[in-house]
Amino acid sequence: MFAFSHPPTKAASRCLCTFLAITLVACSTSHPEHNLYVAHFGTQPETEVLAERIADDWVIRNGEERIVLSHLREELYAVPIFGGSWKGQWVGEEWRGHWTDSLRPGNYRVPVTLTPVLNTRPTKGSKTASRWATSEGTLLLQTREDSLWATISTPTGDYRYLAGKKTHNTLTFNTFDGAHLFRFSATLKGDSLVHGSFLSGTHYETSFDGVLAPDEGEGWKSGQQAFNGAEMALTGVNALGDTITWNRSSLDAAGKSGLVVDVMGTWCPNCMDEARLLAELAPRHPDVQFVSLAFERNTDANILPRLAQFQEALQLSWDVLLGGKASKRIAAECLGVVDTVHSFPTTVFWAPGSDPVIHTGFNGPATGEGYVVERVFFESQLRRLSGRSKNH
């Protein structure tokens, strides 16, 4: 505590202000205040994504996507939807720690360091779009100055929101969606992408290359799979441990005109995107029964609470049932109406008395026009199922 018997002189005031400033810095245990950071993940080479510090939370910025990692205690942050955590500590202006993926076996951890972005400037001009045929699928790329936004579409789903930069002739774009950590890089040589690599966390690496595709439109369509003629019936275990069966008789008993079965996994970001679309559309079709049938990496005692957590996080108004281990063969056996499951997610639209329509893969919001096509298809199928109750 400081007190003056008379008003301080200007010199004394300057000395006091300097002393207080030094004292506050020396005694402070809080980190320096910045808004924007780069998260450097410990892959080789590093995978980098943007992160914001908002209140006590970290917010991941994958292009247009925002993922909030909620502060739990000390320097521990919860990864939404997929579980896992960030844990670390402040060292000067840097935050140093690691990401733990709780859905992957073997105590899977990747180091992460967040450093402040001291100088920022907005990019100017309009985005330029291009389409590339690559070794991983169709690359949808947008550029503005040295900034990049992208996704890669495949027959089974898309790589969601990717963002990065162009340095000289090297393109690098990355994402962290809570379940996956992806890094793509390649050298731009004329109309080709060469000498590239694709990293998935610290456990997978392969080459990546591509060529510029004609700008004739993707010709997006919703993937479908053949019905094998078997009777529609499925069984799973709900979060309370009860065995639930859905077939023609149980559907009739529930007074429902149709059934939508979402074959998925709580570890799957494309499944998350599809579940969000179903959750948005479901209230318009109260006469249709929705069910999520999960196939999980682990099926131990922790899995049923995990299913309940996934259901709550996405605000699903229907059961998430455990079907079995995360295996396409097991999923096909459980579902019955297909000889094999091509992808997670796979979605079945069925009305008693008609053949099920089996949808494979999912193009999420990051694909733009691809997602529009998916949405139109889902809405048409739900109208078809709902229409049965009105016409019969």
Predicted local distance difference test score (pLDDT) of residue 21: 37
Using the 3D structure, point to which of 166, 193, 216 is the last residue of a domain: 216
Residue 273 pLDDT > 70: yes
Residue 367 C-alpha from the chain's centroid: 13
Asked if 250 and 353 sit in the same domain, the reply is: yes
pLDDT band at 390 (very low <50, low <70, confident <90, very high): very low
- Could you report the per-residue pLDDT of 124-168, keeping only the tens digit for each? 888 999 999 999 999 999 999 999 999 999 999 999 999 999 999
Predicted local distance difference test score (pLDDT) of residue 75: 96
Structure tokens at 223: 């993937």
Residue 219 C-alpha from the chain's centroid: 25
- Could you report the per-residue pLDDT of 74-104, keeping only the tens digit for each? 999 999 999 999 999 999 999 999 999 999 9
Q: Contact 2/23 with Cβ under 8 angstroms?
A: no
Residue 10 pLDDT > 90: no
> Average per-residue pLDDT in the chain?
89
Asked if 154 and 275 sit in the same domain, the reply is: no
- Could you report the per-residue pLDDT of 211-263, keeping only the tens digit for each? 999 866 566 877 889 999 999 999 999 999 999 999 999 999 999 999 999 99
17 domain residue, yes or no? no
Q: How many domains does the chain have?
A: 2
Residue 64: give the domain boundaries.
35-216
126 domain residue, yes or no? yes
- Could you report the per-residue pLDDT of 307-363, keeping only the tens digit for each? 999 999 999 999 999 999 999 999 999 999 999 999 999 999 999 999 999 999 999
Asked if 205 and 229 sit in the same domain, the reply is: no
Is residue 149 helix, strand or coil?
strand
Q: How far is CA 307 from CA 77, 245, 328, 334, in A?
A: 21, 17, 19, 18
39 domain residue, yes or no? yes
Predicted local distance difference test score (pLDDT) of residue 317: 97
pLDDT band at 34 (very low <50, low <70, confident <90, very high): confident
242 vs 25 pLDDT, higher one = 242
Q: What does the DSSP 8-state code read for residue 365?
A: G
